[in-house]
Structure 1
């Protein structure tokens, strides 16, 4: 078989697999939302005080807390009560049928003594990796919960490196005086020399046959743990508790089923590297509602494994409801990717507020990931002071373009080609952003079939579509500072702009470029208000802009 035949065969195989996934997907809708089963617990209650725990902020209560959880589970389950107080502890391991309940004013403070955290096999950004044991974890559990009004504090500052530019001058001096070591240029603080050495040498934490777990002992200090990791668990409830100050990701449910996160607060400093709020990875049937997030990275994030390893796992994150949440600081309010190689589908996001996030609705991937992201629905999303884009798709995540600005445009489709398609966003309001909508697909795989309607977007720039197809805008008001152009189209096709309002003083409404820019329809829109209706460049033809009369 020659190379051309092989590529054609591979492409057909990939497209066939995508078609099969589409046929076997469930058919949920706003009137038929996914159902999430809830855990149930016996009322039997045992206090950690009965096992010798002491709330003095000094005593290490690891054994007492774990003994209480184990005893409760062995007796058929119930509630393990953490009374008010400051409880220093090492890693806590949850058990089936146990509700760990933190009363108001109860704080589980994770010990800064890193020797208490074992070197374990874990997952880092979708791949098997060496990690320190998570402060709270559970594997293969059923009926498990953490509830109450208390706090889980990961003591994250003892684990994190910090750039000088991320802190005020006084805070930087305080950090340097606390110990640790500096990078040679003096601009990065590390918790230890071991951390500094591993970081500056750019050592990988990924496990392999050649690099078993024990070979990572000399860089253990750099292997920051996620605060809460639940793996392959069923009927999980996280309710009311504040999870904060994590060394890395704050909450990481992995391959779980029937997951509810309700009225939870997640807090991380703005400078917290990898300080995500919630990373829902390869989970099925989940509900996230009434939560407040203020974090150092993505807030509510959907993942499903990375690259080949994620595709082999083949577990999409699916059947999710995300509603009535508020996000303050964060790289994105609601995020999909970039580790989404197992796919994501049937996720419903509604009644959420994003205040000051870097981006609002954020979708990201790159060549090599693979995976299909589809049937994502968002409505009643309200945003203010977004630093970047209100709605953002980019399939060039972390790609460094050539100095001439040219992108790699190889028209190759294979198992590593990511697919983002078939979504609808409605009633979206944004007061302040760099851009209203930015979509950048791949030349070989456009972002396609996205409907956006009933939107008011106040931003510096309006809409940019690059390698996009089947995008529909209906009843959209664009209030922009830059009016040249209001809408940019580059190598995108099958676009519809219906009932678009824009600044009547706009100097240029459409900038259309690229030979692949075709079938662009403008309906029920008064284009005469713009000084120039459209400009065409780089092979784009005027005949491909199809105008209908305004109402």
Structure 2
């Protein structure tokens, strides 16, 4: 195995020049010049073209058997390349097998069928829970040394599966969609492609596998149980390279409990209105490299997960040792995301040299009570952001499973703040280090919201220049360090809001103007300090509410 080179700027070395990752009693020390090694795939040159197994590129012939037969033959003969030549190839689900590289030539389109009968119901996993789903178009379980490479397009026929919200379409698009068939909700705001989809949408977690559900029940809502385009479960040594993955029924790429995954130079796209249309969800995986890739999707772009609630904690497999670099995310709910299903934890994750353009949120770290799990040792640097709809940087432990930015006319109440006991269900966010970012346009620069019973802690943000409507909002947090922050804001009343913050340090904060510099609220604030901040530019310096006192803040120029 060859070590993957990676250059990290000197600033963070003082803060995290090494860290320990204990796995199975073995202590491994990583540094920015000595990252985890991702094992590479290797394939024989023997080539098995699907045409020789009866495949036809007429867009009408269902080539499921021909493609799978080619993969089986390749696997039985020790592996090699299964070739999909240029042309449009219609297919049902395809199972990848060990030592096989499924290679798409340029101008090859692998088009998955809209015939739902071709996708059997199978026991799978969805949003961190064991669930019944339709078989994924591309899938593998317990395989080693597998790849999908080339220059072609893989299309999941997602438009046949997805429900669509009216508010996300133009009037003419909505009329065309509803005229095509299907059903609309009682309030006429959501379209469903079939009655089974409509029935499933009215239930809570209908696909979750429980003893009281019969095969007949799952069949009655089958169309609602949308598959992910690609699901790889418990596989090792994987390469996804060069291919366009698009139009998924649900998530595009879902590696689950995999090891040694490389994703390089892929293009992942869904319509921006595609519900649950994530780009890639790396769940409970170890040793991952994503580089040179582009995501333009309907939900989170690049996302880290590790199971949900008790099921995720029982699995106990964190996503760890992940390198993400030189990639771009266009439309998405978040550019780089952790959560909300992170109950198995996440650690040792490095993100660098990425651009987020037009995403709802830039860096999005989300969880909620009930998840449990520890997210730690997250390092981010050299991020460019433009036209971010919501927050440029967001930490939120009150995730409510809704779109991050409300639709026009949608009203949302702030979460009810309660102090609850700390249990195994209490999630932990700590040890995040973010540096060297620029954001040209956001609704809010930084939002950090922890839980009153367990604060978000140990976050450093350094060298961040941002144009935003609002400034900085920190709630229920401790050991937060913000330095070299340049804020150009439209509304600064206040510029910085702190609710129950402890050991909050601001160093060299530059801003254009502020009606109110600090609003401090709550009776559990302490050690809020500034240096290199010119308070004279603000009309008013401080405001104290809900039990906060002047003793909690020390402003030094």
TM-score range, shorter chain: over 0.9
TM-score scaled to structure 2, two decimals?
0.92
> Hey, what does 1:522 align to over in structure 2?
530
> Hey, what does 2:241 align to over in structure 1?
239
Of 343, 346, 360, 1:344 maps to 346
> Hey, what does 2:542 align to over in structure 1?
534
**Are the structure 2 counterparts of residues 125 and 177 from structure 1 closer, same or farther at C-alpha, using a change threshold of 3 Å?**
same
Correspondence list, 1:464-475, <5 A? 464-475=473-484
1:394 and 1:440 in contact (8 A); partners too: yes
- Deviation (angstroms), 1:24: 7.7
1:121 and 1:213 in contact (8 A); partners too: no
- Deviation (angstroms), 1:212: 5.1
**Are the structure 2 counterparts of residues 31 and 232 from structure 1 closer, same or farther at C-alpha, using a change threshold of 3 Å?**
same
Q: Aligned to 2:221, what secondary structure does the other structure show? A: helix
Of 110, 113, 121, 1:111 maps to 113
> Hey, what does 1:99 align to over in structure 2?
101
Q: Aligned to 1:157, what secondary structure does the other structure show? A: helix
**Are the structure 2 counterparts of residues 479 and 25 from structure 1 closer, same or farther at C-alpha, using a change threshold of 3 Å?**
farther
Q: Measure the CA separation in 1 of the matches of 2:467 and 2:134.
A: 44
Q: Higher strand fraction: Structure 1 or Structure 2?
A: 2
1:207 and 1:213 in contact (8 A); partners too: no
Q: Measure the CA separation in 2 of the matches of 1:399 and 1:61.
A: 38
> Hey, what does 1:12 align to over in structure 2?
none
Deviations 1:22-60 (A, max 9, x none): x98754332222211111101111110110101111110
> Hey, what does 1:412 align to over in structure 2?
421
Q: Aligned to 1:360, what secondary structure does the other structure show? A: strand
Provide runs of 4+ in structure 1 moved above 6 Å: none
Q: 198-207 or 155-164: which moved more? A: 198-207
2:398 and 2:415 in contact (8 A); partners too: no
> Hey, what does 1:461 align to over in structure 2?
470
Q: Aligned to 2:533, what secondary structure does the other structure show? A: coil
**Are the structure 2 counterparts of residues 454 and 144 from structure 1 closer, same or farther at C-alpha, using a change threshold of 3 Å?**
same
> Hey, what does 2:189 align to over in structure 1?
187
**Are the structure 2 counterparts of residues 347 and 20 from structure 1 closer, same or farther at C-alpha, using a change threshold of 3 Å?**
closer
> Hey, what does 1:326 align to over in structure 2?
328
Q: 424-433 or 162-171: which moved more? A: 162-171
Q: How many residues align?
A: 529
Q: Measure the CA separation in 1 of the matches of 2:382 and 2:132.
A: 41
Q: Aligned to 2:228, what secondary structure does the other structure show? A: coil
2:397 and 2:451 in contact (8 A); partners too: yes
Of 411, 416, 421, 2:430 maps to 421
Correspondence list, 1:88-487, <5 A? 88-202=90-204, 204-211=206-213, 213=215, 215-398=217-400, 407-487=416-496
Deviations 1:441-496 (A, max 9, x none): 00011111000001101100110000011110111111111121111100111100
1:360 and 1:390 in contact (8 A); partners too: yes
Q: CA RMSD in A?
A: 1.9
- Unpaired runs of 5+ residues, structure 1, are 1-18
- Deviation (angstroms), 1:183: 2.3
Q: Measure the CA separation in 1 of the matches of 2:220 and 2:43.
A: 43
**Are the structure 2 counterparts of residues 405 and 152 from structure 1 closer, same or farther at C-alpha, using a change threshold of 3 Å?**
closer
Q: Measure the CA separation in 1 of the matches of 2:199 and 2:413.
A: 35
- Deviation (angstroms), 1:211: 2.2
> Hey, what does 2:405 align to over in structure 1?
none
> Hey, what does 2:505 align to over in structure 1?
496
Q: Aligned to 1:63, what secondary structure does the other structure show? A: helix
Deviations 1:204-229 (A, max 9, x none): 11001222555411111111000000
2:48 and 2:81 in contact (8 A); partners too: yes
Q: Aligned to 1:174, what secondary structure does the other structure show? A: helix
1:93 and 1:137 in contact (8 A); partners too: yes
> Hey, what does 1:14 align to over in structure 2?
none
- Deviation (angstroms), 1:525: 2.0
2:501 and 2:525 in contact (8 A); partners too: yes
**Are the structure 2 counterparts of residues 24 and 305 from structure 1 closer, same or farther at C-alpha, using a change threshold of 3 Å?**
farther
Q: Aligned to 2:197, what secondary structure does the other structure show? A: helix
**Are the structure 2 counterparts of residues 403 and 199 from structure 1 closer, same or farther at C-alpha, using a change threshold of 3 Å?**
closer
> Hey, what does 1:511 align to over in structure 2?
519
2:507 and 2:530 in contact (8 A); partners too: yes
- Deviation (angstroms), 1:352: 0.3
- Unpaired runs of 5+ residues, structure 2, are 1-20, 403-410
> Hey, what does 1:73 align to over in structure 2?
75
- Deviation (angstroms), 1:529: 2.2
Deviations 1:87-143 (A, max 9, x none): 000000000000000011101000011000011011110000010000000000100
Q: Measure the CA separation in 2 of the matches of 1:535 and 1:513.
A: 8
TM-score scaled to structure 1, two decimals?
0.93
**Are the structure 2 counterparts of residues 501 and 68 from structure 1 closer, same or farther at C-alpha, using a change threshold of 3 Å?**
same
